[in-house]
Amino acid sequence: MSATVPATAFARIGQLASQRPVHEAFGWLHLHEPQIMSWQRELVLVAAPPFGEGPRAEWLCAKFRELGLEDVALDGIGNAIGVYRGEQSGGECVLLSAHIDTVFPSDTLIDPQLNGTRLSAPGACDNGAGVVAMLAIAAALRHAEIRPACDLLFVGNVGEEGEGNLRGMRHFYQHAPWRERVAAHVVLDGAGHEVAVTHGLGSRRYLVTVNGPGGHSWTDAGRVNPVVVLSRAIARLGDLALPAKPRTTLNVGTIEGGTSVNAIPEQVTARFDARSTDAEQLIRLEVEIHRAVEDAVMEANAGAKREHALRFSIEMIGDRPAGTLTEHAAVFENLRAVDRHLGIRTETRIASTDANIPLSLGVPALSLGAGGNGGGIHTRNEWYDARGRVLGLRRILLLLLACAS
């Protein structure tokens, strides 16, 4: 890492890691990999499609209770929450979270295959790895009877993937009684131990709809075709010059509409995804999308009969705010010290994760992998390999304890 690790932070991590209870917690993590993988296999069997995470949230609450967490409950939007009490309970807390939703629809066949250290199943890595890492940390803390200085809050949140639009984290920071007490927030997402997401990538998503009277391709030929008109708008946006710095992207992910090859469609929709590290660029892209669609529709309607005129709407269906963790934030300094202690050289990255919400609100937050390796993310061939998981778990444990001291 490019930034210098403060000597005091490094010394504090060394002292923390030398304590006997921390060694006992490390030992539990090392010896109980079969138990952790058993949880992971059990977890992926509980489907958690977008907006259908309820059964998995209930499963997680049951595990939280088994591991001795207190005040275990589902909040108003379906996040699973449990508390590990610290010595000074009721004040500041450190939040550890992992999203429980997957990208897979409810009818997806899930038949987890475990071959040695490798688990193959939809959602095995994203975010099976992150969720069971929370369970492993809670179990290790209880086994070693570690009492951190402040409360540790464990949250399995809904709504991270796709059009979930980070609704679980939004709800927490808008409504949870703990929201004002969070001193640091560590997000667990996927595998690995080398990357730390410290910059929240902002994004906005839009559903563009163009409607018209439709008709028969032969008898009504000449009527304005919504597909053609929306395609013109998309082509104009495709020619738009986007800056390399700040990096900004615009993508059209889906186009849908029509009923038959010999019918002029009555409706066509497209979904746009705009991303940037700069909030101003996102505003600019929103203006450009509105301008391109409005101009294309107006030009088409100029030569059409009034009763054949097209209409359009643009709906924002996703808004992930950007945010940045400063290098001098305590959680960042602690992470650098932990990584130096463990011999890890971490890359800082920009990405869109649950950490976007706290970062946008000024809460120190970052997103980490939960150790091990994974691949095939968001496909039915997704897999997770637990080799090296213990290093990632040690990293998470030390970081939590350092932030809670």
Instruction: Give the SS3 label for residue 35.
Output: helix
Is a pLDDT exceeding 50 seen at residue 142?
yes
Is a pLDDT exceeding 60 seen at residue 246?
yes
pLDDT tens digits for range 249-271: 999 999 999 999 999 999 999 99
Per-residue confidence (pLDDT) for residue 4, from 0 to 100: 63
Query: Taking a C-beta distance cutoff of 8 angstroms, is the pair 348, 196 a contact?
Result: yes
Per-residue confidence (pLDDT) for residue 192, from 0 to 100: 96
Residue 190 half-sphere exposure, CB side, CA atoms within 13 Å?
A: 21
Q: pLDDT > 70: what percent of the chain?
A: 99
pLDDT tens digits for range 16-29: 999 999 999 999 99
Per-residue confidence (pLDDT) for residue 141, from 0 to 100: 98
10 Å CB burial of residue 155 (0-12, 13-18, 19+) is buried
Architecture of domain 202-320: 2-Layer Sandwich (3.30)
Per-residue confidence (pLDDT) for residue 358, from 0 to 100: 97
Per-residue confidence (pLDDT) for residue 313, from 0 to 100: 98
Per-residue confidence (pLDDT) for residue 239, from 0 to 100: 95
Domain residue extents for the chain? 7-200+322-403, 202-320
Per-residue confidence (pLDDT) for residue 2, from 0 to 100: 41
Per-residue confidence (pLDDT) for residue 1, from 0 to 100: 38
Length of the chain: 405
pLDDT tens digits for range 299-343: 999 988 999 999 999 999 999 998 999 999 999 999 999 999 999
- Residue 214 sits at φ, ψ, to 5 deg, of 70, -170
pLDDT tens digits for range 190-212: 999 999 999 999 999 999 999 99
Q: What is the pTM of this model?
A: 0.89
pLDDT tens digits for range 79-90: 999 999 999 988
The distance in angstroms from the start CA to the end CA of the chain is 24
pLDDT-derived band at 3 (thresholds 50, 70, 90) equals: low
- Looking at the domain that runs over 7-200+322-403, which CATH code has it been given? 3.40.630.10
pLDDT tens digits for range 349-392: 999 999 999 999 999 999 999 999 999 999 999 999 999 999 99
pLDDT tens digits for range 26-76: 999 999 999 999 999 999 999 999 999 999 999 999 999 999 999 999 999
pLDDT tens digits for range 101-128: 999 999 999 999 999 999 999 999 999 9
Residue 9 half-sphere exposure, CB side, CA atoms within 13 Å?
A: 22
- CA atoms of 141 and 148, how far apart (whole Å): 9
Is a pLDDT exceeding 90 seen at residue 162?
no
- Residue 77 sits at φ, ψ, to 5 deg, of -110, -5
